[in-house]
Amino acid sequence: MRVELSKDKTAAHFAKILSTNRRSLKEKALACQKAENEYAGMPCGVMDQYIATMAKKDHALLIDCSEYDVKHNSGLSMKL
């Protein structure tokens, strides 16, 4: 029961963060990471939050986690 409440609280906090237009995408991603760490108690990295806020169709998202920088790369082949 406690885990479910924590998930609901985290989801509500994510929605509030993502709906605030004054923040940059980087700020939103880092705020979501902080919410997941603090509200859900999940010591996660930032990859999922960066992808959720910054992904572009048909692009790879190259994330430098030491500097929190991203680059979109459309030159990668999508064929396997």
Query: Which of the residues are catalytic?
Result: 48
User: In terms of C-beta density within 10 A (0-12 exposed, 13-18 middle, 19 or more buried), how is residue 40 classed?
Assistant: middle
In whole angstroms, how large is the CA radius of gyration of the chain?
14
